[in-house]
């Protein structure tokens, strides 16, 4: 069986050890000959990589392992890039969240002004990695889950339309696992879904079990009462109190359209007043993650390094991330499995902009993806999506053209920003905070 060579871009990510363990667990169906880590922060990456090197040597010594900040070394002779970079790291996520809150506006990693600010930082970083991959391994595929995925995907559509990149998000995966659990079904893979929207902005319209039975009535009963909170996961992601709150709040999000099941991220658009009231402008999700996941993961790495062994270490497998192996296998082995991907619409949502990057089910095989048509969508969703996709497109145009005007328009059109005045105040402060990360806006 062919063995694959993988580069993890964002080697210093908090998710890297969990994803490495997940790759090892799936080794039988996806054999690996080489894993390389790539990052542009050598000090951060070294801690994760040295610990992973010890782990690999003790568990899978047959896998070649290296880590580097040199693009030629990182991207030569590879089959897949798994990309999870965070340009600006948590220090900048904290600013994305706290600056809008100063003006009474939702501060969130991927939604509203915070997400748009993050987008302006991410576009260049993701395009750079895509270019390295194409230069050194032109046949490789990039599986990208670097955020904000909606904006990054639109940027790659505009700037690298023929690149071998698949943009994917894990939120629907997690929510589908929860819905399967509500129905007493072992795996979400037994469900066949229809879904339409943008990334972090979508709805399930149909869900069937493996015999074609409609599961929506049963799922609706749960969501209407407790959101997704009836089926909290046993995995280690999305378990903090703030995530629980989001899963519970989904019941109020659902109330807007009881025909469909919403993505949890719609909370920020439908209930921004509630979200702001429940935010602490001095302590946001970035602080929670720095004190939680980041600390836990880096403490575990330092512990392995200082003891010189991974025996009894605190690394935890990121089990739900096995969708990444599913996706790599779909390409490598032409499995023609269904995935929700972020792809150019091209008519799959009939009554929506053909050029929009939409999140819809696709069939994935050796030659990439094919869309599954979702037909016409209701006015409510269409209206919301038109506004949101315009914000995303304007950010990408602002980045390409270096346009202050378009960035101000992007902030202004966002549903969670109350006025052009507030948009401008936030934008001006964000320009200052993002010097060196954003292109200069004129």
DSSP character string of 222-279: HHHHHTTGGG--SSSSS-SHHHHHHHHHHHHHHTT-TTSEE-GGGHHHH-HHHHHHT-
Q: Exactly one of 56, 165, 289, 360 binds ligand G6P (CB under 6 A); which one?
A: 289
Which pair of tokens denotes residue 278? Answer: 């429940």
Catalytic option among 170, 240, 252, 353:
170
Q: How far is the CB of 284 from ligand G6P (least distance, A)?
A: 10
Please state, in angstroms and rounded to a whole number, the distance separating the CA atoms of residues 403 and 267.
Answer: 30
Residue 376: half-sphere exposure toward Cβ, Cα within 13 Å:
3
Q: How far is the CB of 367 from ligand NAD (least distance, A)?
A: 23
- Considering CB distances under 5 to 8 angstroms, the limit depending on partner class, which of Mn ion, ligand NAD, ligand G6P, none binds residue 285? ligand G6P
Q: Exactly one of 49, 171, 266, 348 binds ligand G6P (CB under 6 A); which one?
A: 171
Site residues for ligand NAD per CB under 6 A: 9-10, 12-15, 39-41, 44-45, 84-87, 89-90, 125, 145-147, 149, 169-171
Please state, in angstroms and rounded to a whole number, the distance separating the CA atoms of residues 196 and 371.
Answer: 11
Active site residue 174: no
The residue sitting closest to Mn ion, measured at its beta carbon, is 169
Please state, in angstroms and rounded to a whole number, the distance separating the CA atoms of residues 13 and 39.
Answer: 9
Q: Which residue(s) pair with 37 in the sheet?
A: 8, 67
Contact between 147 and ligand G6P (CB under 6 A)?
yes
- Considering CB distances under 5 to 8 angstroms, the limit depending on partner class, which of ligand G6P, ligand NAD, Mn ion, none binds residue 404? none
Q: What does the H/E/C string look like for 392-414?
A: HHHHHHHHHHCCHHHHHHHHHHC
Q: Which residue(s) pair with 342 in the sheet?
A: 167, 359
Q: Exactly one of 170, 252, 257, 337 binds ligand G6P (CB under 6 A); which one?
A: 170
Q: Which residue(s) pair with 142 in the sheet?
A: 81, 165
Alpha helix stretches (DSSP H) within 103-170: 112-136, 149-159
Please give the residues from 167 up to 196 whose contact with Mn ion meets the rule CB under 5 A. Answer: 169, 171
- Considering CB distances under 5 to 8 angstroms, the limit depending on partner class, which of Mn ion, ligand NAD, ligand G6P, none binds residue 248? none
Active site residue 265: yes
Contact between 285 and ligand G6P (CB under 6 A)?
yes
- Choices 41-49, 150-158, 169-177, 322-330; region in contact with ligand G6P by CB under 6 A: 169-177
Residues at the site binding ligand G6P, with contacts judged by CB under 6 A: 109, 147, 169-171, 285, 289
Residues annotated as catalytic (active site), given as ranges: 170, 265
């Amino acid at each position: 069986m062919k063995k694959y060579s993988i580069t993890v871009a964002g080697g210093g990510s908090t998710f890297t050890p969990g994803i490495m363990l997940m790759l090892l667990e799936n080794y039988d169906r996806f054999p690996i000959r080489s894993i390389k880590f790539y990052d542009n922060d050598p000090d951060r990456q070294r801690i994760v990589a040295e610990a992973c090197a010890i782990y690999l040597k003790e568990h899978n010594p047959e896998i070649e392992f290296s880590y580097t900040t040199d693009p030629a070394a990182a991207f030569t002779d590879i089959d897949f890039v798994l990309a999870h970079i965070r340009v600006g790291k948590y220090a900048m996520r904290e600013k994305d969240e706290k600056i809008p809150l100063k003006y009474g506006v939702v501060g969130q990693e991927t939604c509203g002004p915070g997400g748009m600010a993050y987008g302006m930082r991410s576009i260049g970083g993701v395009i750079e990695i895509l270019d390295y991959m194409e230069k050194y391994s032109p046949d490789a595929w990039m599986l990208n889950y670097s955020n904000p995925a909606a904006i990054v995907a639109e940027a790659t559509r505009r700037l690298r339309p023929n690149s071998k990149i698949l943009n994917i998000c894990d939120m629907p995966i997690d929510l589908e696992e929860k819905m399967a659990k509500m129905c007493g079904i072992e795996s979400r893979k037994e469900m066949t879904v229809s879904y339409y929207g943008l990334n972090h902005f979508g709805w399930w319209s149909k869900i069937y079990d493996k015999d074609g039975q409609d599961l929506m009535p049963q799922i609706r009963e749960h969501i209407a009462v407790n959101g997704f909170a009836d089926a909290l996961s046993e995995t280690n992601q999305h378990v903090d109190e703030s995530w629980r709150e989001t899963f519970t709040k989904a019941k109020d999000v659902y109330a807007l359209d009881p025909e469909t099941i919403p993505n949890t991220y719609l909370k920020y658009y439908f209930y921004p007043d509630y979200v702001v009231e429940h935010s602490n402008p001095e302590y946001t999700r970035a602080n929670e993650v720095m004190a939680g996941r980041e600390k836990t993961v880096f403490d575990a790495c330092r512990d392995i390094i200082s003891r010189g062994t991974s025996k009894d270490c605190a690394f935890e497998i990121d089990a739900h991330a096995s969708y990444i192996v599913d996706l790599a296998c779909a390409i490598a082995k032409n499995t023609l499995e269904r995935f929700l991907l972020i792809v150019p619409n091209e008519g799959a949502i009939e009554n929506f902009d053909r050029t929009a990057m939409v999140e819809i089910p696709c069939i994935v095989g050796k030659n990439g993806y094919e869309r599954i048509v979702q037909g016409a969508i209701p006015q409510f969703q269409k209206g919301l999506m038109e506004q949101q996709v315009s914000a995303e497109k304007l950010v990408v145009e602002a980045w390409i053209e270096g346009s202050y005007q378009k960035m101000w328009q992007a902030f202004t059109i966002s549903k969670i920003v109350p006025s052009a005045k507030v948009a401008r105040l936030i934008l001006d402060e964000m320009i200052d905070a993002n010097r060196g990360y954003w292109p200069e806006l004129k």
